[in-house]
Amino acid sequence: MRISDRLKKLKPSATLAVNAKAQELKAQGREVVSLAVGEPDFGTPLHVREAAKKAIDEGFTRYTPVPGIPDLRAAVGGYYGQFYGVCAKGENVVVSTGGKQALYNLLMALINPGDEVLIPAPYWVSYPPMVELADGVPVIIPTTPENGFLTNVRDLEAMSSPRTSVLILNTPSNPTGCHYPQEALDEIARWARARGIFIISDEVYDRLVYEPAKPSTLAHHWHRHPESIALVGALSKSFCMTGWRMGWALAHPDLVKACAKIQGQSTSNITSITQKAAIAALTGPWDLVDEMRAAFVRRRDMALPIIRSWPGVTCPTPDGAFYLFPVVDAYYTPEMPDSAALCTRLLEEAGVALVPGSAFGDDRCVRFSYAVADEVLATALKKVGRVLTGK
């Protein structure tokens, strides 16, 4: 069968592939613990679920405007006022099927064929493929665990060129959990604007930042220079709404219209019921976020000493999200030469599913998600340690 050339070079999502393999082993009767998927183990809050039920009962089940109903777009704008003191209007918001579609729409709207896009590594798995689908060229910026896997103006300048049009930033990071301080973001924003480089700031995990670190954002820079920056957010992580598929882009009205045009020819509006639930999430109580944040800090602080006790393993302390990204290449051998081979062995021998670092642009590492119950995490780490160290 004839398949387009653009798809021939496109790789499937590594996180979804690992999860599928884990499900396959479970179906065979194997005991498998998945630390592979970034999905909080808490339930969607009651007031959000009730809003969805009410929407169904009241018959709010028809098409809506492509970029979202006005009340929801206003609620997203209000989010930035509530947490960052930035005034954003509904015309600055396009609501999409999760943060993933918001990112895809932005890249399709911003990139011309051959444009280069700077992507610090480790990166979220979908950034480079999305750039390639938009006929752009991903330019990967290496970082080091010693620097918390964070990039800086010096490294960005070294990798930029006259073809550079976009920079993608992600804080807190998936897969590392590392987080840019506000002053670091400010410096990068000033550099990018001086170079005429547009920034897409992926801030999906912005409510999951752990003290003493503080939430940081490019919202203030966007407010002053909306033609130079777009922000991406979502409710998937902060409100345990992964399956609801609710994300957004905050952008210049012209860019919002461009994204809506793309979305209008692909998915149209997100589910009408989800939109009503999202309004309840954005305007209702945020108690669950505080509860999750405390649980994730507890799990991080339990897991880090265990992982660091494995000989030859180093791991930066994450300031947000719910991932650990240790350097494990000390355990590579000729028979197990990379992160994919190591993850395969851990899945088969320990019954623990992890994601290879190669999927995120750093083959030295593997990603652990600690968005699971404390006892599940502790047991999984013990099994992994036993396979790696033989103890």
| Residues 173-184: tens digit of each pLDDT | 999 999 999 999
Q: Considering Cα of 196, then 188, then 164, then 265, what sign does the dihedral take?
A: negative
Return the closest-CA partner of residue 355 out of 12, 10, 9.
12
Confidence (pLDDT) at 342 = 95
pLDDT of residue 15: 65
Residue where one domain finishes, among candidates 242, 261, 283: 283
How high does pLDDT run on average in the chain?
Answer: 95
Does one domain contain both 172 and 319? no
Residue 335 maps to which CATH number?
3.90.1150.10
Confidence of residue 346 (pLDDT cuts 50, 70, 90): very high
Read off the pLDDT of residues 39-52 as tens digits, 9 standing for 90 and up. 899 999 999 999 99
16: pLDDT strictly greater than 90: no
Residues 336 and 367 in one domain: yes
* Whole-prediction pTM: 0.95
Please check whether residues 100 and 212 belong to one and the same domain: yes
Q: How confident is the model at residue 390 (pLDDT cuts 50, 70, 90)?
A: confident
**Rounded to whole angstroms, how far apart are CA atoms 43 and 240?**
6
Q: At residue 349, does pLDDT exceed 90?
A: yes
Last residue of a domain, one of 228, 262, 283: 283
Query: Is residue 18 located within the same domain as residue 107?
Result: no
- Indicate whether 345 and 372 sit together in one domain: yes
Q: Both 25 and 64 in a single domain?
A: no
For tokens 């009730």, name the residue.
50
Using the predicted structure, report yes or no on whether residue 377 has a pLDDT greater than 80: yes
Average pLDDT estimate for 201-212? 96
- The pLDDT assigned to 100 comes to 96
Residue 117: give its domain's CATH number: 3.40.640.10
The number of distinct structural domains making up the chain is 2
pLDDT-based confidence at residue 278 (cuts at 50, 70, 90): very high
**CA-based angle 10:13:15, to the nearest 5?**
160
Whole-number pLDDT of residue 364:
97
- Tell me: do 70 and 90 sit in the same domain: yes
Token pair 């992580």 is found at: 237
- Indicate whether 379 and 342 sit together in one domain: yes
Peptide bond into 122 cis (omega under 30): yes
Q: How much is the pLDDT for 20?
A: 75
Given this model, what pLDDT does residue 112 score?
97
140 pLDDT more than 80: yes
On the CB side of 142, how many CA atoms lie within 13 Å of its CA?
6
Of 88, 114, 90, 149, nearest to 275 (Cα)?
Answer: 90
Do 372 and 358 fall within a single domain? yes
**pLDDT confidence band for 310 (50 / 70 / 90):** very high
Stretch 112-116: mean pLDDT: 97
Domain that holds residue 239: 46-283
| Section 291-300 average pLDDT | 96
Q: How confident is the model at residue 14 (pLDDT cuts 50, 70, 90)?
A: low
Structure confidence by residue, pLDDT tens digits, 224-273: 999 999 999 999 998 999 999 999 999 999 999 999 999 999 999 999 99
Query: What phi and psi values does residue 124 have, to the nearest 5 degrees?
Result: -65, 140
Select from 253, 283, 313 the last residue of a domain.
Answer: 283
Cα separation, 221 vs 183, whole angstroms:
12
Structure tokens at 26: 């479970």
